[in-house]
Structure formats: C-alpha cells, structure tokens
Homo-oligomer: A and B are copies of this chain.
Amino acid sequence: MLRIPYDEMVGEFARVLLKNGFSRERAELSARLFADASRDGVYSHGANRFARHIEDIAGGRIVVDAEPELVETVGVVERWDGRQGPGNLNAWFCMNRAIEAARRSGIGCVAIRNTNHWLRPGNFGLQAADAGCIGICWSNTINNLPAWGAKEARLGNNPVVIAVPRDEGHVLLDMAMSQFSFGKLAVYARSGEPLPVVGGYDEEGRPTRDAAAIARSRRAMPIGYWKGAGLSMMLDLIAALLSGGNAIQQIAALGAECMLSQVFIAIDVDRIVGHENRNRVVHEILEYAAGSEPAGPDERVYFPGERTLLTRAENLAKGVPVDPEIWEGILRL
C-alpha cells in the first residue's frame, strides 16, 4: 500500500476533475469528498472508485455541470431534481439546504430525484454534524437484495446514515441494509475466510458464511433478516414518494444504478439543546456504553464512528492508503 498525504490526494483528484469539465469550486468539493472517504477508511468509495467516476462522466452517465433544480417547496420540505449531476455534489447541496432549513425551522427535509450514486454516504452525515445538526439521510438503489421469502432481488441495499455531532469527533452510523456489502463479500471470498456471521444464501438457498457462494447466488442477507428487508422497503417508499422520483422497479428497468431518489433531514440540535449541553449528553451516553463489561478479554465497545476516527487519525498522520496500481491510474488520468 502506498500512503499519500491527504492534501496531495485532494489536489490530485481536483486536477483530474478540473480536466474533466468541473468548475474549480465543484472540483475542489468533489475532490475533498473522495479524499475524505479514503481518509476515513472507506476506500471502496474513495480513491478506489475515482477512475470509475471519471468514466461515468466520459460516458455521459453523469452530467458534469448539472446542478439541482428546485421542483417545489412545501413548508420546510424541498423537492429537487438532480438532473443526473454528480451524486456526491448533489447530495452535498441537498444536505446544505436541509441544514439551512433547520437553522430557520429546527428541522429541514430535502428530497432529490434523478441523482446519481452519492459515493460515500457518511460524508453527508458528517456535513450535518459539522454544522451542529443531527443528520439523517438515505438513498434508494438498484434491485440488489431479496425481499424476505424471495429468491430474486427486488429490494435495494439502501444506505442510511445517522450522525450526531460531538466535539471530539462525530457519532456516525453509516450502514446499508445487507449484513455485508458486496465489496466486503468480495474481500472475504478472495481471502477464503468464512464470514463472522451468516451473510446470505448459497445457490441451494441455504444460509451460509461462505462469501464466494453468496457472491454467486447474489442473495445477500438483510440485517435482522425480515426486519432489514422491511426497513429497505420503507426507505424506498419514502425516498420515491418525497422526491417524486424513481422507485426501485424504475431503477431496475433502467438497468443501471442511476436516476436515484434520496432524502436528507437535518435537525439543528445545537440550537435546540445548546452546544455544551449537547456535548455533555452525547458524552454521557457514550461513556455509559463504553463502561459495559466486555464480552471477552479482547473485546471492547466502540460507538458508531469511533473506529472511523481512529482510522482517520492514522491516515492523516501516515498518509492515506491507496493501492499503488490504483494511484498510478489516477495520476495518468
């Protein structure tokens, strides 16, 4: 693994984005969002996804200079059309709108249709938390998760993010509806190691910890079995309804994960609770859980996002890890 200084990584991404038709401001924001993903250990949606993003722009699947257009405002709920612009910039824009609405009204809710993959979901939770807001957001996806009782994937592996601000580093839950992402399954399949828990079905329909078998069957296990499958459907319902955009069956018909629907909610918790009070309440809840008797001698309790903070500190100190071949590829773009 190479380790590239964070600022150098941002600069390299920005250079390529500028060359590919982004304005300076948008190139710098997108570059930072890509670098933040790798900085925080989400390599799959950072440097590892960057070249594909450029391909998607070249192929016209992402419209590089498209900015969201306001469709309608209903009270503090806004509906935007993403016009197939870059998903990370569209998502950033929407969470900003939600934060601005939350500044005025305590809470803001923004839905967007016709947007693209937002890449690392957690970025937009951190964005809200940086603004002293609770952030909640989710995206629908293409059909890639079976409903409970189904063989065929007609639900989405929707990512959902919940962030709560904390002065020493935000609390961040960034999870999708399957127990393991297909990326993680691929890592296990290559290693030959069994998954730590059941992660899907094999081709005979038996629950299994064999990642390669799950990759073949394409039947990943929803978190909490029937519960996660149900949650996935609720998230798609709300995203499609509020945005007026595509639901899963429409994205499936497109045959590519684009023209997505997303929801962004911000709650101005620092205004509601007060900054000091907020940090104290968060601290007390985290301390209480951290003080639990551990399940085993080598175990301890992490709060959501705690490992991310540890990874971030290491990667900022030592440089952000990237596969040499991937980095060479980016340098050549």
Residues of A within 8 A of B (CB): 72, 74-77, 79, 102, 104-107, 109, 134, 146-155, 162, 164, 171, 173, 175, 179, 197-198, 201, 205, 207, 223-225, 227-228, 230-231, 233-234, 236-238, 240-242, 244, 247-249, 252, 267-269, 271-273, 278, 281-282, 284-286, 288-289, 291-296, 299-304
Tell me the smallest distance from the CB of A104 to a CB of chain B, in Å.
6
Chain B residues in 8 Å Cβ range of A146: 292, 295
Chain B residues in 8 Å Cβ range of A79: 272
A228 touches B224 (CB 8 A): yes
A151 touches B238 (CB 8 A): no
A240 touches B281 (CB 8 A): yes
In whole angstroms, how far apart are the Cα atoms of A249 and B283 in the complex?
12
In whole angstroms, how far apart are the Cα atoms of A48 and B154 in the complex?
37
B230 touches A242 (CB 8 A): no
A233 touches B303 (CB 8 A): yes
Chain B residues in 8 Å Cβ range of A284: 247, 249
B74, B223, B285, B296: the one within 8 Å of A249 (CB)? B285
A240 touches B285 (CB 8 A): yes
Q: Which residue of B lies closest to A296 (CB)?
A: B205
B155, B227, B248, B289: the one within 8 Å of A154 (CB)? B289
Q: Which residue of B lies closest to A179 (CB)?
A: B224
In whole angstroms, how far apart are the Cα atoms of A328 and B273 in the complex?
48
A interface SS class: mixed
In whole angstroms, how far apart are the Cα atoms of A67 and B215 in the complex?
54
Chain B residues in 8 Å Cβ range of A228: 223-224
Known: A175-B231, A241-B282. 12 other contacts (CB 8 A): A74-B106, A76-B76, A134-B238, A149-B299, A149-B302, A150-B299, A150-B301, A173-B234, A197-B207, A201-B295, A205-B296, A252-B288
Tell me the smallest distance from the CB of A310 to a CB of chain B, in Å.
15
In whole angstroms, how far apart are the Cα atoms of A332 and B77 in the complex?
51
| Known pairs A223-B224, A293-B150; A75 contacts B236 (CB<8 A) | no
A152 touches B237 (CB 8 A): no
In whole angstroms, how far apart are the Cα atoms of A291 and B150 in the complex?
9
In whole angstroms, how far apart are the Cα atoms of A150 and B282 in the complex?
19
In whole angstroms, how far apart are the Cα atoms of A249 and B296 in the complex?
22
Q: Which residue of B lies closest to A143 (CB)?
A: B288
| 23 CB < 8 A contacts A-B | A75-B76, A75-B102, A75-B268, A107-B107, A109-B267, A146-B292, A150-B295, A151-B292, A154-B291, A171-B233, A173-B231, A205-B295, A223-B228, A233-B289, A233-B304, A234-B304, A238-B267, A241-B272, A241-B282, A242-B272, A247-B284, A247-B285, A248-B288
Q: Which residue of B lies closest to A271 (CB)?
A: B74
A134 touches B241 (CB 8 A): yes
Tell me the smallest distance from the CB of A266 to a CB of chain B, in Å.
11
In whole angstroms, how far apart are the Cα atoms of A69 and B191 in the complex?
58
In whole angstroms, how far apart are the Cα atoms of A33 and B153 in the complex?
37
In whole angstroms, how far apart are the Cα atoms of A175 and B226 in the complex?
10
A237 touches B76 (CB 8 A): no
| Known pairs A164-B237, A241-B282, A285-B237; A294 contacts B151 (CB<8 A) | yes
